[in-house]
Each structure stands twice: as C-alpha cells, then as structure tokens.
Amino acid sequence: MKGRLVALSIPGIVTPGVLWAAESAKKVVDPVENWNHLWNEVLIDLFIMGTVFSVLAIHWLIKYKATSPDQVGRGPKLTRAQSWAWAMVPAFIFMADDFFLAAKGWTVWNIYRNVPDNAYEIKVTGNMWYWQFEYPNGVTTTYSYDTKEGDGLMVPVGTPVVLRMTSNDVIHSFGLPAYRVKEDVMPGRVTYIWFNPLEEKQTWVTCVEFCGVLHSQMYAPVKAVPRAKFDEWLQKKKSTT
Amino acid sequence: MSTESHGFNLREWIFTTDHKRIGVLYLIGSIAAFSVAGIQALMIRIEQSSLGPTLVHDVATGGNQYNVWLYFHGAAMILGFLIPGLTGFAANYFLPLMIGAKDVAFPRVNAFSVWLFYAGIVMALLTFVVGDPPDVMWTGYPPYSVLTSGNTAFYVFTVHLLGFASILGAVNFLVTVIYMRAPGMGWNQLNMFVWSTVTAFVIQLVFVPVLASAVTMLLFDKYLGTHFFDPANGGDVLLYQNLFWFYSHPAVYVILLPALGILYEVVATSAKNMIFNYKAAVYGGMWGIVLISGEVWIHHLYIAGMPNWIRIGMMVSTLLISVPVGLLTISLFGTLFRGAITYTIQMKYAAACLFLFLIGGLTGIPLAMTVMTTHLSETSFVHAHFHYIMGIFSTFAVFAAVYYWFPKMTGKLAGEKLGNLGFWFNFIGVNVTFMPLFIIGVQGMPRRYWNYEMFPQFEPFHKVALLGAILVAIGMGMTILNWVISAISGEKSPANPWKSASLEWTDCANPPGPGNFTKDVVIKPEWTPYNYV
C-alpha cells in the first residue's frame, strides 16, 4: 500500500515540474530581473531575522539592567529536555531557512549558467590593463582609460549575449554591475557569462579581481544599441580594418 | 612574591617564559600592528574620498602606492593584530588562569613563538622600507604575485613566521587545556573563552600548514622557476586560491571564536548570569563551526569558474554555518535574559558587538548564495560585510577584553571618562564608515579601486565614509591613550572589581605573581565560572 502511494505520487511531482520547466523555457528570461527579485526576498528574510534578534536584545539590555550592585542574574536553569529543545528547534528552523534560500538560489543560478540557444557570442580577453573584445566576424575593439577612446563592448538590444572569456596574463574578473553578472577571467581557462540587454543604454565593465598598478583603470564602456545600428556599426568596423 | 616588586627590567621581559608577560608582549605587538594598519586604513579612506588622485601622485602610478596600503592594511590587521591579539594576547594571559594552571605546558616554546611573532611583524613593517614592497593584497593570488616586480618574498616570510608561531601556540594550548586543568575541573566547567580558544587552535593546527605550503609554492614559482600555478607550463591557476581559502576561511573562525568567547565572559560577568544553554553553545555551536569550517571555502571562489556542482554544494554547506552560529547567537543573547546587567565600558563594547555581529552575520547570507555573488562579489558590499563581522566585531571584542581584564593585568582601573568617550567615537564612527559602503556595494562599487571615475555617483558616499574613519581614528587614539595613562597612573583596583565568579578573578592577585595562584586550586563538582547566587 505504502509502495503504491509512493509510486502514484511520482508522476504527481514530476508532471508539474516538467510543465513548469517547459513553461519557463518559453519565456524571455532576464537574469537581472531574477536577481533583483531574489535579492528582495533575501532582504525580507534578513530583515525579519535581524528584527527579532535586535528587538529581543534591546529589550533585554534595558529591562535587565541591574538595580543594585549586589543583584545577581536569575537565568533559567534548563532541564536536559529543554536544553535539547533549545538546540534542535532553532537548528531546524535555521536549516529550513537555509534550504529554502539554497533552493531559491539554485533556481536563479540555473538561469545564469544555461545560455540561451540564440545567444550572440563575443570573445573577451583580459590584459594588464585593458579589455579586448572580439566579434564573430573578426572585428576587435578595446578602450583606453588614458585617452578615453575606443568602442568598448557593443551589444545588440534584444539578443542575449554570451561572453567567452580568457586572460593573456594574470587573473582578472569581468564585472558588469548593470547586468548583475561577474566571472573571473584566467589564463589557460575559458569562462563564460551571459546577459540580456533589453534596452538601449550605456554602462561600464570594471576589472574586479586585483591585477596590479592599473587595476582601477581597467574599465570599458558597455553600450547596448538597437540591432540595426549594431549590425551597421559592425559592418563599418569590418570594412575599415 | 609579586611581579610588581621587581620594577621594570628589560632583560626579564626579553627572556621571560611567564605566560602573562608573553601575553602582554603579544598585546603590545598586536596593538602596534593595529596602529600602523589603522593609519593605512585612514589613507585608503582619504584617497577614495575624492574622484581623482587625492594622496597618490598621479593616475598612471597611483596604484603603486595605493596597493601597498591595501596590502599592509589587510595582512597586518588579520595576521598581525586579530589572530595574535585574540589567540596570542588573550589566550596567553587568561587561559592558564581560567583553568587553574601555573603556566602553559611548554613555557619556552611559548616564549619562542612570541618572538617569532615579533619577527613576523618586523618582516611586515619592512614593507615601508624596501624599494619594491609587496603589493599582492593579503591574499597573494598568482599569477600576479609571481609576475609582479613587488617583493612577494616578504609576504611569504611574514606568513611563514606568523604561521609557525600559531602552530606552536596551538600545540601548547591544547596540551595545556588537556593536561593542566586544576584537579576536579571537568570539561563542562570550562570557561566559554577556554572552549573558544581550544576550538580555534584545533582549526589552526589543521589548516595553517596548508597555507604555509601554498605560499611556499608561490615562493618557488617566483624565485626558483617552478610552475605550480602557471597553466602555460602544466600548472593550475586556481590551485593557490583553493589552498589559500582552505586555510583562510577557517581562519575567520580562528578570529570569530575567541572573540565570541571574550563576549561570553564579559556578558556573563556583567549580567551576573549563567550561560544560556552552555552545552548547545559549546558542542553544537563551537564544535559545529570546527566541523563545517573546512567544507565551505569555495564561497571565496564562487565567481572563479569552478564547476557548477561544487559551487552549489558549497552554497548549501556555507548556508548551514547559520546553524552553529545561530546556536551561539541564541546562547549569547539568552545570557542577557533575566540577568542583572552593569554597564561598564567592556559591557558597552560587548553590547555593540551584538549589533555588529547581527549586521555582519546577516549580510553574509546573500554572500553565501552563489547566484547573489555574481553581482555582490568583489564589491564594497563584501568589503563592508567582512569589516563588520571580522574586522570591527573582533576588534571591539579585543577592546572589551583589554577593559575587562585591565585591572587583572595592571592592578589598576581603566579611566571611565576617556574610555566611554572613545567607545562612542568608535561605535558611531565604524557605522558611519561602513553603512555607505553597503549601499554603494549593491550598486556596483568595485573593491580595491582608488580610481572610480566610471562611477562618479559614489563620491558622496565615500566622503561620508571618510568622516566615519576620522571619528574612528579619534576614538582609537583616545582608547589607546586611556590604556597607557591608566596603566601608569590609574586608580588602584579592588581584587575582584566586576564580582566575577571565574577563577582568574576569585583566586589570583592583580596582577598574579609567578605561579599565578597562592594556594592550590581544587574544583568542586558544583562549581562553574558562571555560578552567581
């Protein structure tokens, strides 16, 4: 009987999961939106825990102020059962919260690591101390902090962009706060991130792994432009080089 | 026979094997490291307070200066102040007194380790003397640390000396606690500080050799031409980070645990209360941390391109640290419940620590989540988080320790006026400094950036942070000055000024003479250090 119940429950668990996965695969996923949503949920979680502990602490710090110098505390002496309860009950509450957050985090993580099939691929190379971007047609761009010249990273609006990244010298890290992505860039390995530029805007990538004297000058503009404008720019770039 | 009657004798201090004098030597050395590293912190804040070059010469070479400040600040605060301040000073002076021992198990080894520590501090200070100072941050990641023209060897040798001192200390104190407790003293009668030191030293003993081997490989790669970390020659570029954090994450518990231990002593004594759920805090909390500490290091490599399975696996193990830490938090907060609290300076620092612990601990939760770090990692959010939980929290705990045991060490009471004033400057200052860094961290302010011209909107926040840093500098100055003045000309302290039930107060003189106890200590079965009736 028990075995049958378990067997029956399997499709009950799997079917909605598959349906949900199929549904979510169809939607346009935006890592930024997912990140922000999760961040808000985590903040609520922290706020609740922080409030409980700080209200208790402040209340007790005021309430239990000694009234005479010879007064001593009357803290509760726990029985064996109470001691176990005060260890196990909070432990399970904390664990429940941990697994809840881990599950939430894992879901969004999967979005971050699964690159959409239609993603536009750009190669990124970290150098001391500048970024180099290479597009599928062989065009390369860069940016100089000194002269403030160079295109930096151009991406088309509405197309997911995947960056395949490596380094020519030391470890750098590609940090793009506006799109909530970041990953280290290392010699001898290729790492990736992807993001979804949904609107036209200019933002900045900064190197976020310490890499020497000009670490804080190793930045470049990231411009999301409409697809037509992007294609035009890329063609023009191709013909001039 | 009391140490006071001898007067000051330099030779005696240099050749001393007395754990109390060694403790004082650790305190002086670590406060010296703290002061120099604190000045570096102030310079970092000044530099960031305006967009362009402020203290550094110019844009092209500014990094050379700034990176050395960052390196020294991090390395000296962690390796030269926090670890030796907690496990060197506090453990040396008070652990033997708390367990009723006449000294540590190996007094000469103890003397050797304090002088190794001084050699390490001198090695670190050479940063400001040599022509090509190390600029590798306290983490020393290759390939940069191998390729740089900065002198990475000074970093490696500093770690070697301080690490060796730590290993010797760990063996010494574990043997002391196991074999030298007063007759009758059972494991469940130990002070929380003793337990916290034991667990911290277990961590040191297991993990420090890993760090030592990692930095040694760095030395070989840079100066002997090996290729441990060079992928072009078959090395592994991430090997160092794995080894480094395999030690250095547990190392944060080497700092956190004794700091918590001190808070327990201060809170229990100030509230004249027993520890709430002692066994859960010791066996679940402290030993739980020891158990989990070695399985979480990947959270320092979340964005380093490690395989997905380990990034997710260590997200779960990292989040689970909240269980032992939660038990300790409940026990520490619970010790206030139905207490009779007296607000001495040390209790003010302890109350402030509860707040810092909450902020620092809770902001660690998003940083435990792999996907959250895709945005938060390497920003000033991380910077503010570990300053709250590791930097300021533990520093305040050291300060609470100095105030709490000041009469024990000097026989005098620390001045209240300057002490309280210093406390408020410190407490307000640290929050004014680091709260803005949380805010701009979430908005993407990168760490270790003196030049943030791409994000000019963050400049006002850095200005506020500088204001906080100035308050802290004033507060720290007042605090250290207060200790010096009080040690020289403070009011004579009663034998047990806080009316503590712990052995170091009930059975020793202020300060204790050689051999610590005038008569043999025998512990009764019902005795605990927190038994207030």
For residues A241 and B90, the answer to whether their CB atoms sit within 8 Å is: no
Please compute Rg for chain A using Cα positions.
Answer: 26
The angle that helices A80-113 and A31-63 make with each other, rounded to 10 degrees, is 160
Widest distance between CA atoms in chain A: 89
Sign of the alpha-carbon torsion through B394, B395, B397, B398: positive
What is the predicted pLDDT for the residue at B58? 87
Q: How confident is the model at residue B9 (pLDDT cuts 50, 70, 90)?
A: confident
Judged by CB atoms closer than 8 Å, whether chains meet at A101 and B448 is answered as: no
For an interface test with A, which of B375, B377, B380, B532 has the most A Cβ atoms less than 10 Å from its Cβ? B375
Domain residue spans in chain A? 25-63+79-114, 120-240
Q: How confident is the model at residue B1 (pLDDT cuts 50, 70, 90)?
A: very low
Nearest residue of B to residue A31 by CA position? B371
Q: Residue with structure tokens 């020294």?
A: B72
Among B63, B237, B271, the residue with its CB nearest the CB of A187 is B237
- The letter for the amino acid at B342 is T
Q: How many CA atoms lie within 13 A of B475 on its CB side?
A: 23
pTM: 0.93
The predicted-structure confidence for B36-88, as pLDDT tens digits, reads as follows 999 999 999 999 999 989 999 888 888 889 999 999 999 999 999 999 999 99
Q: State yes or no: pLDDT of A27 exceeds 80.
A: no
Judged by CB atoms closer than 8 Å, whether chains meet at A171 and B144 is answered as: yes
For residues B333 and A53, the answer to whether their CB atoms sit within 8 Å is: yes
What is the predicted pLDDT for the residue at B29? 95
Judged by CB atoms closer than 8 Å, whether chains meet at A54 and B237 is answered as: no
Which chain B residues touch A86 with a CB distance below 8 Å?
A: 276-277, 280, 330
Tell me how far apart the alpha carbons of residues B333 and B275 are, in angstroms, rounded to a whole number. Answer: 10
Judged by CB atoms closer than 8 Å, whether chains meet at A109 and B148 is answered as: no
A198 and B CB contact within 8 Å: no
Tell me how far apart the alpha carbons of residues B495 and B478 are, in angstroms, rounded to a whole number. Answer: 26
Tell me how far apart the alpha carbons of residues B193 and B258 are, in angstroms, rounded to a whole number. Answer: 6
Among B272, B312, B322, the residue with its CB nearest the CB of A72 is B272
Q: How confident is the model at residue A18 (pLDDT cuts 50, 70, 90)?
A: low
Give the A:B interface size as CB pairs under 8 Å. Answer: 253
The predicted-structure confidence for A70-99, as pLDDT tens digits, reads as follows 899 999 999 999 999 999 999 999 999 999
**CB within 8 Å of chain A, chain B residues 23-62:** 59-61
Q: How confident is the model at residue A17 (pLDDT cuts 50, 70, 90)?
A: low
Which chain A residues touch B380 with a CB distance below 8 Å?
A: none
For an interface test with B, which of A216, A222, A223 has the most B Cβ atoms less than 10 Å from its Cβ? A216
Tell me how far apart the alpha carbons of residues A126 and A183 are, in angstroms, rounded to a whole number. Answer: 12
Tell me how far apart the alpha carbons of residues B235 and B226 are, in angstroms, rounded to a whole number. Answer: 9
Widest distance between CA atoms in chain B: 69
B514 to chain A, closest Cα gap in Å: 32
What is the average pLDDT value for chain B, to the nearest integer? Answer: 94
For residues A142 and A127, the answer to whether their CB atoms sit within 8 Å is: no
Among A66, A105, A189, the residue with its CB nearest the CB of B372 is A105
Q: Give the mean model confidence (pLDDT) for residues B414-418.
A: 95
Give Cα B59 to chain centroid, integer Å: 34
Q: Is the peptide bond before B307 cis (omega within 30 degrees of 0)?
A: no
Judged by CB atoms closer than 8 Å, whether chains meet at A171 and B340 is answered as: no
State the burial class of residue B80 (Cβ atoms within 10 Å of its Cβ: 0-12, 13-18, 19+): buried
A180 and B CB contact within 8 Å: yes
Q: How confident is the model at residue A2 (pLDDT cuts 50, 70, 90)?
A: low
Tell me how far apart the alpha carbons of residues B134 and B149 are, in angstroms, rounded to a whole number. Answer: 8
- The letter for the amino acid at B340 is A
Q: How confident is the model at residue A21 (pLDDT cuts 50, 70, 90)?
A: low
Question: Two tokens at B144?
Answer: 């940069």
Tell me how far apart the alpha carbons of residues B376 and B292 are, in angstroms, rounded to a whole number. Answer: 23
Q: State yes or no: pLDDT of B335 exceeds 90.
A: yes
Judged by CB atoms closer than 8 Å, whether chains meet at A97 and B374 is answered as: no
Q: Which CATH superfamily is domain A120-240 in?
A: Cupredoxins -  blue copper proteins (2.60.40.420)
CA distance to A112, A189, B136, per residue, from B227 (Å): 33, 16, 18
Nearest residue of A to residue B274 by CA position? A75
Q: Residue B260's closest CA among B179, B160, B158, B192?
A: B192
Tell me how far apart the alpha carbons of residues B413 and B497 are, in angstroms, rounded to a whole number. Answer: 9
DSSP one-letter code for B343: -
Q: Give the mean model confidence (pLDDT) for residues B432-445.
A: 96
A210 and B CB contact within 8 Å: yes
Among B305, B316, B446, the residue with its CB nearest the CB of A191 is B305
Q: State yes or no: pLDDT of B229 exceeds 90.
A: yes
Output the 3-class SS for B347-376: HHHHHHHHHHHHHHHHHHHHHHCHHHHHHH
Tell me how far apart the alpha carbons of residues B102 and B19 are, in angstroms, rounded to a whole number. Answer: 9
Give Cα A195 to chain centroid, integer Å: 11
Q: State yes or no: pLDDT of B409 exceeds 50.
A: yes
What is the predicted pLDDT for the residue at A26? 52
Judged by CB atoms closer than 8 Å, whether chains meet at A182 and B373 is answered as: yes
Tell me how far apart the alpha carbons of residues B92 and B402 are, in angstroms, rounded to a whole number. Answer: 13
φ and ψ of A200, to 5 deg: -75, 120
Q: How confident is the model at residue B3 (pLDDT cuts 50, 70, 90)?
A: very low
Domains of chain B: 21-506 (1.20.210.10)
A2 to chain B, closest Cα gap in Å: 31
CB-based contacts of A23, cutoff 8 Å, min separation 6: none
For residues B367 and B376, the answer to whether their CB atoms sit within 8 Å is: yes
Among B63, B142, B320, the residue with its CB nearest the CB of A213 is B63
B369 and A CB contact within 8 Å: yes
Among A45, A170, A180, the residue with its CB nearest the CB of B144 is A170
DSSP one-letter code for A221: E
A188 and B CB contact within 8 Å: yes
Judged by CB atoms closer than 8 Å, whether chains meet at B315 and A71 is answered as: no
Give Cα B26 to chain centroid, integer Å: 13
The predicted-structure confidence for B190-216, as pLDDT tens digits, reads as follows 999 999 999 999 999 999 999 999 999
Q: How confident is the model at residue B24 (pLDDT cuts 50, 70, 90)?
A: very high
Among B63, B335, B336, the residue with its CB nearest the CB of A214 is B63
B304 and A CB contact within 8 Å: yes
Q: State yes or no: pLDDT of B456 exceeds 60.
A: yes
A77 and B CB contact within 8 Å: yes
Q: State yes or no: pLDDT of A19 exceeds 70.
A: no
Strand arrangement of the beta sheet that strand A172-176 belongs to: A153-156, A219-225, A201-207, A172-176, A181-185
